[in-house]
Every structure is written in structure tokens, then in C-alpha cells.
Chains A and B, each alone.
Chain A
Amino acid sequence: MPDIYMDHISANPVLPEVQQAMLPYLGERVGNPSSLHKWGQAARDDVEAAREKVAALIGADPSEIIFTSCGTESNNLAVKGLALANEKKGRHILCSAVEHTSVLSSAKALKRVGFETELVPVDRFGRVSPEDVQKRIRPDTVLVSVMQANNEIGTIEPIAEISKVTKERGVLFHTDAVASAGNIPVNVKTLGADALSLSANQFYGPPGAAALWLRQGTRLTPLLDGGFQEENRRAGLENFPAVIGMGKAAELALADMPHRLVYLQGLRDKMIQIIPSIVPHTVQTGHPSERLPGHASFCIGFIEGEGMLLWLDDSGIAASSVSACTSKALKTSHVLLATGMETALAQGSVVFSLGIKNTEEDVDYVFEMLPRIVDKLRKMSPTYAKFLKGVV
């Protein structure tokens, strides 16, 4: 049986070159980057080299990179850290309705200390319009947070256009680029945001390393109190093996990006074109073209996502779903609902997120198996039976 991994939005393999870069620090190399001795200074040099590579990936200055432990931490640091540093100016925050829970929950946590959060709606493709942001900016608005690409539906947001609005109104703008950085060209100069979150594992780096890019001169209230690491913005011993791996992964992603982009877009477009034609009553979710290169997401009518995932797994295909049954909270995806997806149809969510090791054959195998799986589940679906009888 094949062994096909199509869940890169959840986790990515660590590339061999990245492993090689990290290995010394998982073995004999020792030294806290804050220490003065030669061991510490060697670790410091390697961390700083990694910082340069991560900065280069997004067109930033190395001094603007704050290493963190994961995308969630970067988003918490951005939302809470920027809001709290500016609370004298106001306590109003704008987030898109499709943000990752680490952004939405950070904003919600701020409600307890007197902040007010307003959600900016999206269209049926999951896109935020700059006008909708503009309309909601108030004199007391201190932060706007809109993700660059959505992990559930793949849609890429018009960040550069939104930043024009925030700049004009003098409001800070954070973008969660965890799903996009390292996968599509990201340049903080042209994006015009003030803060940007990125995570190593999304571009074949190790889990445990992520970063927040913060525009020079932007004030931030740290979340962790302790030492003076990361220019006093993130206390705690750097996870330097992972940070060094992140640097290597960033270097490879930048060099290989044109190739990866074209390759993954080809496979993705094939899936987007073919799956709705071989599985009736299927809708593609997210934007048809403004989307992550390897991201093909659908809602399949009359069946539920978890059953689909179990059968796909049984056939050797690893995919994901955002149906209520597959979520730990047993709630329908707030992203799909924000796009106006019918709740029952949202339960049939399936996401194929492709990686550079996936092949044409892998995609063809999905085309072979998926219709059979859907058929099997529909045969036992009461809603499909009602549909066939014309009851619904």
C-alpha cells in the first residue's frame, strides 16, 4: 500500500540538510548563546547566522527578528505585546473572522483586561477587503491583525492593500504568515505590515522554532519575564538547535522557492480541477487562484470528514479535515462559517496539503481512491438518501 503524506499544513518533515545543520547542537556542542566563553560565543554566532537567514527569507533586517518557540507564541506576542504596549492610545483591536485561534484567543484574552475586539468579515472565498478594515478603524484602534494565508482554506489575503489603510490611519498591523512564509515570496518591505509571524516547520524546519518579525522601532510588551535574550523582547534560553535548523530551512526555502512554487501549484491545480468533477456535490473552499501553492481544500456533500479521513488513512493517504467531529472542540470551523459555508456541508471538509515530496502518482492515487470512499460513506448516509428521494 502506498504511504502518501498530504498533511503538510499540520506538520512537515525536516529536510536532511536541516538535520545536518542541527546535529552538532544535539550532540557534543555545548554553550549558552548568552555565555562569554568560546563555547557560548560559537553558539551565539550560529544563532546570529540563522537570524540573518530568516531575515533574508522575508526581506527584513536581522535585528528585527525575535525567535520564539512556535507560531502560536509569535501570534500571542504580536497581538498581546503590541496591544498592551499601546493601551494608552486605545483598546480597540480588529481581527479578520478567519484568523487562527492563536490570534483570536489572544484577542479574546485581552478582553479581560478591557480591550474590545471586532471581527472583520470575509467574502465567500475567505478574503478580507481593505475597505472593510478601513470602515472599522476608530480613533482608539491600536492593532489590526489579518493573516497572510489561511491554513484551513488556503486563501491568500491582500496584505499590501490592507497595510495601505492601516498606515494611512496610523494603526499597527500584524500579519500571521505562519502558513505562507517560506512557501510563497514574502517581503516585509512591500507588504508594509509592522509585525509578521512565521514558523520553521511550515518550510521544512524543525518544530520548536518560530519567529516574530517586528519593524524597527516598534514598541512591544514582552510576554515572558526573565533575562535579556532577543534584545529584551523574549526572555528565556533560545532553543538554539531548532533556531539553527530554522536558519538552514529558510536558506533552502528562499533558494528553492521558484521551483517549489511552480511544482506545487501544478499538483494543486490538478486536484482542484479534477476532484469536483469526479466527486459530485463537492465544492472547493477558499479562493480558486489566490491560494497557498500546495493547498487543495474541499467540502464534500452528504458525508462527514472524519469518516473520510479514516478511510483515506486506511488507503495510505494522510489528509486533514476541519469538520466538527475532527476538531477537539467538536465545533464547526469558524473559517468555513465565516465564508458562508452551509453548516451541514462544512462537516464534509477535507484538506489535502501537498509537499515537495508528493508526486503526480500520489495525486492520481487520490483521484482513484476518493470517489470510492465517498461512495461508501454516502451509501450509509441518511442525508444522501433524503437527497436522492428529493426530500431535502
Chain B
Amino acid sequence: MEGTATAAIEARGLVKRYGEREALRGVDFGVNPGEVLAVIGPNGAGKTTLLSILAGISKADEGDVHLPSGDVGWVPQQAALYRRLTVEENLLLFARLERHEDPHASVEEMLVLTGLGERRGEIVARLSGGNQQRVNIAIGLLSRPVVLLLDEPSVGLDPRQRARLWEFISGLAGGGATVIFSTHDIQEAERYGERLLVLADGEALFDGAPAGLREAVRREAPEAADQDFETAFVAFLHHRGH
């Protein structure tokens, strides 16, 4: 487990069971303030379960999580918003529920920040999937969280929107916010994740910088060491029996 004694988030021995199936098997990790952690792994690896526990949506059966004081923003994989309300009404509702001092000002700020100003009066159901995801992210950012959890945030976004999203997230991290995101896109994880946490079948197989994962591949699956990052990653999983 990497991270320091001053970690923004620290998790120890997380176990989560759904009936007979173990979704997480003793996962340990820590994330430093301002760090961007990418959680990667195949389907069913436990990525969403891990983020749900960190977000407080579900409880771990075993283990502890330490979170910093302040808001933890959460952007779920599927847009969690009201499709029959407008963009502005959605943001205003959550700003009011979060008891912002000036909800309208918070909404204006977020509309500018996410580039949704021109779409503010549109019913969300009529927006493209990408724009719905932007509203979903905007709601998660409303409280200006010290930790931001994003579950597959770039799904459904076109390349231009992805670039804007990552520019924005990088800006947040630069301002001291800790960001943890899950993704299927290995290239994206390598590019934007300062650290990678590789999960497979609920086990943490790797925790470190992208260059460290390359090193691990070179040691364990040398035939894939010079391949692209995704191929090297698949070879690593295969070598570990997944």
C-alpha cells in the first residue's frame, strides 16, 4: 500500500460480500491530498463497490476507511439526476439540499465551470448522454469537495468533452482536491492517473505509479513489456491468474 501518514483517504482490509460472492477481499490503499488515483480492472473487479464504500453508499463487511473532514463528492457511473427537470433546476435542487449559503450563486459558478451555461434551461432528458454526464459531474462538484470520487466519469463523452473533463479534474487536483476515479480505459488511467490501483476479482494486484506497473509487467510478463500499455496490462492480469 502506498500513501503516507498524512493520506487524505486510507482504507485497510476492506471486505465486501454479496451473499456467497466476495466483491472485495481485504483491499488496502491510501491516497495523498491532491493526488489523482485511477482504479482499474476488468468487469466485476470490485471498482464500483470500492467507490461506493468510500462514498458512504454501502458499508464494508470488514475493514476501515478513513476520510478527511469536509465534503466527499461522488459522481456515480449512471447519471443520478432528474431527467424531467432542467439543468439549472437539478443543480439548484442539490445546492439547496446541500444547504449552500447562496444556492443560485453556486449554480452559476458550476454552470460556468462545466460549460453548461447555454443549456441551463433545457430539460435533462433532451440532452445528449455526454451532456447528461456533465450535469451528473457538476452535481458531484457543487459542494467543492476535498475528495472527489468518480465512477467511470468519461463514459459517453466524446473526445472533446473528455479533454475538458480531465482538464477540469486536473485543475481540481491542482487546487488540492484528492481525486479517485475508476475506468475501463487503460490509456486514460495511464495518462491522467498519478497512481494506479489494479483490482481483479476483489483483490488489489498493484498499487503504484504507471511506470511501476510497466516495471511489474517487465518482471512478470517480459514478452509484453514492450507492447502498448493496455496489452501489457492484460498480460499482467493473465500472469496473475485473472
A binds B: no
